[in-house]
Structure 1
Amino acid sequence: MQMDKRRHRYSQMDRPENVIAMKLDASYFFERGMRFLQRNDLARAVKAFQRTVEYEPDNPVNYCNLAGVLAELGDFEASNELLHYVLEHMDPHMSECWFYLANNYANLGDYDAAEEYLLRYLDHDPDGEYAAEAEEMLSILIDEFGGGKAIERRRREEARAETMQAIQDGRYFLENGQFEVAVEWLEQVVEADPSHIAARNNLSLAYYYIGQYENALAMAESVLDRQPDNLHALCNRAILLQHFGDEARLARAVEPLLKVIPLHPDIAMKVAITLGFVGRHADALLAFRRLARLVPPDHPMLLHGLAAAHANLGNLRAAESLWRQLVRLEDCARVADYHLERVRQARAAGLLTVSAGYQLDVPVEMQLAEVRDRLQTSSPDEWKRDPLLRASLYWSLRHGNREVRQRVIRALAVVGDNDAEQALKSFLARSDIDASLQEQTLVALKRMGAKGAVRIWRANGSTEIRLEDVRKDIILDLQPQWREVWDLAETWLMARGLRALVGQARRFWLTYLYDELFLDLKKRIVKPETWASGLLYVVLRYASVPVVQRDLAAQFNVSASSLSKCSSRLEQVVLRAGWHARRSREE
């Protein structure tokens, strides 16, 4: 009995008066897991972090912690499963998961996947906690493990997306000099979606580039009706009013451009260039100085814009200094050298100012000379493949002198695609080209097989004609010698009762003109009799009419060797044209 009392007393003394129950929750197991990690007891750390997930299954941080310990244990597949689960089912914006996945895949030897996830992380969080490590890891993957495929794939995807967007708003066609196609495409875009502001602004530019200035101004005004502060439209309107010479309206149009201070470099550049273009050189200088806060000090367009403003204002020393900076940049050296030479010439002539354009382009004189040289040396395939060459063709068709325009017309006749056809049709509708250029353009369109209605200027104004109604032998009107050759050949056949061969002779001669002589301005017919006899020799042989080359040459008072050379050239073209015709029929 005594023993029982003592045991009861001891048990009462040992028991705490206030018992605090242990709180087992996610925080407890997180702290426990962290202690195990500090001791490098990874197995027990895993168990602790697994309990955090059990207690808080909706907290993505717990999954990430568990994934991190599993990675430390080398179980990268299990770690990846957890990270993918977080991104796909819990929080798709938890960017650090991309970084953890990249580390896991790198450890698994899947460097392409690691590279892809690093790029995703940097896309989502370029200034994130692991940004510096991700950049360093990306460099290692590329330099040490031959990576870069994911970056190239990403660049291709971005370029493709950018191209699709550029096509949608018409920028693609404008940048490639396909202005007629841009107009046709953008008119459809604007009709389908009248609220598409970017398409309207680009359509305004496209109209301007093809010389439809009234339409260009109307389209710029339509944008401003919807968005009065749209800077692209404000700039476009100012440039167009400068073209029309409407000083009063131009002054009002420039006012908003003087008040605005754009924060985006591209917009600030456009405003500054526009002010310079409309002759507000002092305001342009201020705008370019403001732009200097947004772009690097050696930005080519900034240097040129500042130099142009100074040159137009008479500050030749400042302009020269800026162009000397620009000449150090390889891509800009030619333009800078051109303007430096003009400054030297101005000083020698005692001039105080130099008129300089604000666009960082090869000057008009140099562009025309380059196009002329290219037209003489480049093959037609180059014009088809190279969008820059093609753009220079369209530009030269609008701004070139007569010789350049003639060469461009022939080059476009060889290019022969839909865009080239539209460019020629637009050129034909201009009121400032003479009858000879009109005829050459019609010949080019006939050679391309173009059809449909076109506008053309006659003495009584603009009229519409159908290309199908233009006679095939219009080409004979281009050169008196070409018609003289035909007249000699036709007269000879008719005089000998060979009327049945006239049609074939005509086809042969027109084929040679369209495929050879029209395409090369340097080729000339010196003696029409030689070519007439050569043409007749080919026609008679094809018709199995007995003919002696020497006798035919004597009738036209030409040498047999000259007749032979001409007939050989004619026959080559005729055979080539005939082969193409047979092949197309068989296909």
Structure 2
Amino acid sequence: MKKQHADVKRQAKGRKVVRLRLDAGFFFERAVRSLDRHRYDKALKYFRLAVEKEPENPVNQCNLAGILSEMGRFEESNEVLETILTEVDPDLLECWFYMANNAANLEDFELAEECLIRYLEEDPGGEFAAEAEEMLEMLAYELGRQPRRPQAKPKQEWLKRHDEARRYLEAGQFLQAKEVLEKLVEEYPDFHAGMNNLALAYYYAGDVDKAVDTIDRVLTADPNNLHALCNLAVFLQHRGDRENRNRLVAMLKKWVPFHSEHTYKLATTLGILGEHEGAYRLFRQLLKREERPDPSLYHYAAAAALNTKRFDRARNYWRMARDLDPGSEIPVFYLNQLDHWEPFPPENVPTVSYQYQLPFEEQLIQLDRQQNTLPDQIRQNPLIRSSFFWALNHGDKETKLQVLQVFEWIADREVEQVLRSFLMKQDEEDELKRIALYVLQQMEAKGPYRAILGGRELTIPPCELTRELPVWLKAWEKVLECCLNGMDGLYDISQLNDAQIIWAEFLRKNHANLPKIRKVEGWAAALEYVVARLHGIAITQESVARKHEVSSSTVGRHVRVLEKTCRVTRDGSRFSWSSK
């Protein structure tokens, strides 16, 4: 026996012994696994152990209250929530809202009403304020009397301004949202929902450093603010801070949201971060909870399914979205893409965006086909509009060039603000800024213009703007000027206008690979010839070449380049381009 015991000791010496850390995180993970398997009894046991390990952690306590509520043990759930408010974190005011839900399930409508009133009085701008107001109406009906209202609403004015800012964000008007929210949080520095949205406004406007600083302020006051933690994870990923991003994501993946809004926020965030398996699990939970899911929720679930290579599931979800939203082209587009991707190996199928809109590249293609309606389309569709603003701040150079050209067509106040802000960015290329200056000039935006060029901050009067334009753009501008001078007095105003449209479109489609200009007059003659042919004017390449004092072969060569780019057609008063 002794020899055997010694052998075991010798064997043990050769092995690496890994100690199992039975901390709160360990039990939390076990609880989440049990929830996924619908083993609520085991989940409850593990959540209790997590609370025992970290009794001062309100997240663990909230998870325990949540699982108790899911199991129908509403009184016990409220006991835990009361403990949070009295002993752990009195500022976790949403606990009052959760307690109201538990009381309503117990049919203790008086208690539910008291909890809601307390919640609205303490936090009238809270995440669940709208739901609390609706619930008060329902409880009043059950109690057979008029609904009670909170005694004081000191933050009611916050809600109106915050709602205004949220509307700006949803419409892609990030600079307007930023202006409203900056004033709001300066007056009400404890308004965390406003600060979260201000951080998003900074981020969408391209100022990631300010976004992170704003989120840090929220988390300093409320370390367990889920919206702030989710936003911070996205900002860190954008910064390339992989270490802190990964640490935060590991924590978020363990989080069990108590409310549907939190589940939605966490699922969307995990999707953006590329954590598609976690996003898929949460979106499926939401579909099971919602009585009437929105088409967009089916799209999110479909995107997560495709990104985790569950192709049949993705197809089913997009079909459901199509049936619920027959007027939308989004589900149809992705169903067609699925047919296109079907022969591909799974690893070659691209990652799909979670946003309920067409991919940015597809938007550009469609808008390119319908130039004559482009400005109206963008003004009427805030999702498309916001994607252009986002792409200007976060896209590659080619994408930014395309967006700047689209902005020349939109030419409204918001575009002007975005372009002026773009000119002051330290990390943007000077060439892009010079094109932005050109767009402002074409929009007839009031000068002077402030820009950082060559590392120096400049104030550029409109009269000096031409010298700040890209060299290639100056040369091609001379072509149009030469052409219009040659056409003046011989063509009507609509024909002169078409020359400008055709030339602008040619530059837009070829900006990345424009041929060198050896003689301005050659291109001017070719442009005049194309316009004349468009309007049925009898003209030859030889005659227009003589007029501009160039060879007919030069004109013919340039005409072929113009016609190769696009085919121009006119039907009555309608003018359009179509790619060959």
Distance in structure 1 (CA, Å) of the matches to 2:296 and 2:290: 10
Q: Is the 8 A contact 1:169 1:198 kept in 2?
A: no
Q: Residue type of the partner of 1:220?
A: I
SS at match of 1:292: helix
Letter in 2 for 1:425: R
Aligned partner of 1:465 in structure 2 is 458
1:221 aligns with 2:216: yes
**What is the percent sequence identity of the aligned residues?**
30
Which aligned pairs between 1:276-295 and structure 2 lie closer than 5 A? 276-295=271-290
What letter is aligned with 2:289?
L
Q: State how 1:523-542 maps to structure 2 within 5 Å.
A: 528=521
2:249 corresponding residue in structure 1: 254
**Stretch of structure 1 that moved more, 288-297 or 395-404:** 395-404
Match of 2:362 in 1: 366
Per-residue CA distance 1:117-138 (angstroms, 9 max, x = gap): xx9x96883445599xxxxxxx
Greater CA drift, 234-243 or 400-409: 400-409
Matches within 5 A, 1:457-496: 457-458=453-454, 462-468=455-461, 471-474=464-467, 477=471, 478-483=473-478
Letter in structure 1 aligned against 2:458: I
The structural deviation recorded for 1:242 is 2.1
1:487-526 paired onto structure 2 within 5 Å: 517=500, 521-522=504-505
The letter of the residue matching 2:521 is: P
How far apart are the structure 1 equivalents of 2:453 and 2:296?
40
Confirm or deny: 8 A CA contact 1:323 1:339 kept in the other structure.
yes
What is the correspondence of 1:543-558 to structure 2 with a 5 Å cutoff?
557=549
SS class of match (2:452)? strand
Secondary structure at the counterpart of residue 458 of structure 2: strand
Query: Match for 2:178: what amino acid?
Result: V
- Confirm or deny: 8 A CA contact 1:305 1:358 kept in the other structure: yes
Query: Is 2:202 aligned against 1:187?
Result: no
Whether the 8 Å CA contact 1:169–1:202 is kept in 2: the answer is no
CA separation in 1, counterparts of 2:317 and 2:141? 35
Cα separation, 1, equivalents of 2:159 and 2:500 = 41
* Counterparts of 1:397 and 1:314, CA distance in 2: 31
Q: 1:334 aligns with which of 329, 334, 338?
A: 329
Q: Report the residue type matching 1:335 in the other structure.
A: I
Task: State the Cα RMSD in Å.
Answer: 4.7
Deviation of the 1:220 alpha carbon = 1.5
Q: Structure 2: which 5+ residue stretches go unaligned?
A: 1-109, 111-133, 147-155, 489-494, 508-516, 526-544, 551-580
Mapping 1:420-431, distance limit 5 Å: 420-430=415-425
C-alpha displacement of 1:310: 3.0
| Range with bigger deviation, 522-531 or 422-431 | 522-531
Show CA shifts across 1:348-407 (max 9, x none).
Answer: 123258433333332233223234345x12265665676556435434544677777556
Change (3 A) 1:479 1:294: same
Q: Could you tell me which amino acid in structure 1 is paired with residue 461 of structure 2?
A: E
Rounded to whole Å, the distance in 2 between the matches of 1:164 and 1:196 is 10
CA distance, structure 2, for counterparts of residue 306 and residue 238 of structure 1: 21
Query: Which segment is superposed worse, 223-232 or 249-258?
Result: 249-258
1:446 corresponds, among 434, 441, 458, to: 441
The whole-number CA distance in structure 2 between the counterparts of 1:280 and 1:402 is: 27
Distance 1:529 1:257 in 2: 63
Confirm or deny: 8 A CA contact 1:372 1:404 kept in the other structure.
Answer: no
Structure (1 or 2) with the larger CA radius of gyration: 1
Shift of 1:169: 6.3
Deviation of the 1:208 alpha carbon:
1.6
Residue of 273, 279, 296 corresponding to 2:291: 296
**Which residue identity is paired with 2:361?**
E
Q: After the TM superposition, which residues 123-202 of structure 1 pair with which residues of structure 2 at under 5 Å, given as runs?
A: 125-127=140-142, 129=144, 165=160, 170-202=165-197
8 Å Cα contact 1:181/1:422 also seen in 2:
no
Q: After TM superposition, give the deviation of residue 230 of structure 1 in Å.
A: 1.1
Quote the Cα distance in structure 1 between the aligned partners of 2:425 and 2:549.
45
Deviations 1:95-125 (A, max 9, x none): xxxxxxxxxxxxxxxxxxxxxxxx9x96883
Matched residue of 2:290: which SS? coil
Distance in 1, Cα, partners of 2:328 & 2:392: 26
Correspondence for 2:568: none
Check conservation: 2:205, 2:390, Cα contact below 8 A: no
Per-residue deviation, 1:210: 2.1
Shift of 1:250: 1.7
Secondary structure at the residue paired with 2:358?
Answer: coil
Partner amino acid, structure 2, of 1:468: P
User: What are the Cα deviations for residues 488-517 of structure 1, in whole angstroms up to 9, with x where unaligned?
Assistant: 999xxxxxxxxxxxxxx9xxxxxx999984
SS at match of 2:298: helix
Please give the secondary structure, in 1, of the residue aligned with 2:323.
coil
- Cα displacement (A) at 1:417: 4.3
Q: Deviations over 1:54-86 (max 9, x none)?
A: xxxxxxxxxxxxxxxxxxxxxxxxxxxxxxxxx
Is the CA contact 1:368–1:396 (under 8 Å) kept in the aligned structure 2? no
Letter in 2 for 1:330: D
Deviations 1:154-199 (A, max 9, x none): xxxxxxx999725566212111111122223322333333222122
Matching residue's letter, 1:368? L
Aligned-partner residue type, residue 140 of structure 2: D
1:220-257 CA distance string (max 9 Å, x none): 22211111111110110111222233332123212442
User: CA 1:327 to 1:432, structure 2 compared with 1: closer, same or farther past 3 Å?
Assistant: farther
Please give the alpha-carbon distance, in whole angstroms, between the structure 2 residues aligned to 1:414 and 1:315: 41
In the aligned structure 1, how far is the partner of 2:412 from the partner of 2:484?
Answer: 34
Check conservation: 2:482, 2:521, Cα contact below 8 A.
Answer: no
Deviation per CA, 1:229-288: give whole Å up to 9, x if none.
111101101112222333321232124423433333222111111122223233223322
Q: 5+ unaligned residues in a row in structure 1: which ranges?
A: 1-92, 94-118, 132-160, 491-504, 506-511, 533-552, 559-587
- 1:456 and 2:456 correspond: no
SS of residue matched to 2:182: helix
Q: In structure 2, what is the Cα distance between the partners aligned to 1:423 and 1:517?
A: 25
Could you tell me which residue of structure 1 aligns to residue 41 of structure 2?
none
- The 3 A distance-change label for structure 1 pair 254 and 169 is farther
SS of 2:416 mapped into structure 1: helix
- 1:109 is matched with none
State how many pairs are aligned. Answer: 372
Amino acid at match of 2:504: L
Moved more, 331-340 or 259-268: 331-340
Q: 1:416-461: per-residue Cα shift (whole Å, max 9, x none)? A: 5442211112333456755543222112223433335634343xxx
Distance 1:324 1:487, change over 3 A: closer
Q: C-alpha distance in 2, partners of 1:420/1:303?
A: 33
Q: Secondary structure at the match of 1:170?
A: helix
Q: 1:484, 1:473 → 2: CA distance?
A: 15
